[in-house]
Structure formats: structure tokens, C-alpha cells
């Protein structure tokens, strides 16, 4: 659907929007796994050279008692204290909003940020929580049975739309 060259152009545009905000002391945080890839690509394009961290939100998911823990939980790593920082929270796809909700909760378990901006590569319909992105790479009008999936192969990103079949919600 989108190859690495097209994605690079979208990411460039997102970086421009982040730079335009002129945040005084930002901390760039990517949500595992797709958001962390995206944050890595945004990082060199940002003027302020912010510290780069990652979050694994597995411990904050709301479906733990139904589906259990992801066996490969990565450690979250935030290189600086979040207190009084402007956090740019990065994820690949904004869909239901539940991942972002979990990410916000996790960030607040580290401290009290000054503000949190949400930057996503793809925004799509299907929100189940009142969450919206501040910076959007691309809006896609996907149906309920379609899924946008970011993959990485040797450092090159690609985005594909997968049809989960009509039976999916």
C-alpha cells in the first residue's frame, strides 16, 4: 500500500509539524513495536534532538484478564524523567484508542509530564475512547474488517492493508 519511500515523505511531513510546535523540552516516546520504529525515523528529522524513549504498554492493557500477557514484553525505557517535559507520544496506527489510553497511563506512572502530544502515522475510524491525534501522517477510511499493518524489513518500513474477512467486527 505504502512503500518506504512514500512513508518517508509522510514522516518528513510529520516531523515538520512537530518542529512547528517549537516544544521547549520534548521527549520523543514510541510505543512498541510500530510506534518505536516510527519514532526512530522521526528522531533525526527533529530540530531539537530530543531524547528518545520506548514504551511497552503490555502491563497497562485492558484485555489482560481475557488474553493474558504478551510473552515478549519489552522493557519500557524513558531516558530522562518525564516530569515537566513535553512528551511526543508516537504510534503507528490510531484505531480504537485503547493503546494510547494504556500509553498515557504508563507515562503517568513515571511522573507528571507538562503535556502529551500524540503523533500517529495512520489515523483510521473505529475509536472506542475519546482520544484524538495532534499530528497525523495520513488518514485512511478503513472498514471494520480492514487492518493497517506497519512492517519493517532491514530498516525499511512498509504499510499494508490487510483484509481480516467479513466476519471480523
Partner 1 sequence: MIPADSAIQFDRNGKLKHFLTISGLPRAVLTGMLDTAESFAGFGQREIKKVPLLRGKTMVNLFFEPSTRTRTTFEIAGKRLSADVINLNAARLSTSKGESIIDTARTLEAMHTDLFVVRDSASGAAHLIAAHLPDHVRVINAGDGRHAHPTQAMLDMFTIRRVKGGIKGLKVAIIGDVLHSRVARSQIQALNTLGAEQIRVVGPRTLIPTEIETMGVAATSDMREGLRGVDVVIMLRLQRERMDGQLVPSEQEYFNRYGLTGDKLRYADRDAVVMHPGPINRGLEIASDVADGSRSVILQQVTCGIAVRMAVMATLMGGSEERP
Binding stretches for partner 1 (CB under 8 A): 56, 58-60, 64-69, 71-77, 105, 108-111
Strand, helix or coil for residue 40: helix
CB nearer partner 1, residue 41 or residue 58: 58
13: three-class secondary structure by DSSP: helix
Bridge partner residues of 22 (DSSP): none
Residue closer to partner 1 by CB (options 44, 71) is 71
CA–CA separation, 8 and 12 (whole Å): 6
The b-or-e profile of 108-117 (16+ CB within 10 A means b, else e) is eebeebeebb
CB of 111 to partner 1, least distance (A): 5
Alpha-carbon span 61 to 73, nearest angstrom: 12
The residue among 67 and 154 lying less far from partner 1, judged by its C-beta, is 67
Q: How far is the CB of 30 from partner 1 (least distance, A)?
A: 17
**In Å, how far from its chain's centre is CA 162?**
19
Nearer to partner 1, 68 or 125 (CB): 68
As measured in angstroms, the least distance from the Cβ of 107 to partner 1 is 10
Across the strands, what pairs with 122?
A: 93, 138
Cβ proximity to partner 1: between 20 and 69 the closer is: 69
Nearest distance, CB of residue 56 and partner 1, angstroms: 7
Provide the 10 A C-beta neighbour count for residue 105.
14
Residue 25 CB, shortest distance to partner 1, in Å, is: 18
Amino acid at each position: 500500500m505504502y512503500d518506504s519511500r512514500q512513508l518517508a515523505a509522510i514522516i518528513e511531513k510529520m516531523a515538520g509539524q512537530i518542529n512547528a510546535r517549537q516544544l521547549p523540552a520534548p521527549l520523543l516516546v514510541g510505543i512498541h513495536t510500530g510506534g518505536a520504529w516510527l519514532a526512530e525515523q522521526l528522531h533525526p528529522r527533529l530540530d531539537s534532538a530530543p531524547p528518545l524513549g520506548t514504551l511497552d504498554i503490555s502491563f497497562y492493557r485492558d484485555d489482560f484478564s481475557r488474553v493474558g500477557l504478551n510473552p515478549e514484553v519489552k522493557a519500557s525505557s524513558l531516558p530522562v524523567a518525564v516530569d515537566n517535559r513535553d512528551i511526543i507520544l508516537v504510534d503507528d496506527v490510531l484505531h480504537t484508542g485503547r493503546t494510547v489510553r494504556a500509553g498515557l497511563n504508563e507515562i503517568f506512572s513515571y511522573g507528571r509530564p507538562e503535556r502529551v502530544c500524540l503523533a500517529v502515522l495512520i489515523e483510521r475510524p473505529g475509536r472506542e475512547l475519546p482520544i484524538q491525534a495532534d499530528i497525523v501522517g495520513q488518514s485512511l477510511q478503513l472498514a471494520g474488517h480492514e487492518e493497517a499493518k506497519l512492517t519493517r524489513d532491514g530498516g525499511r518500513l512498509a504499510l499494508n492493508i490487510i483484509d481480516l474477512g467479513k466476519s471480523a467486527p
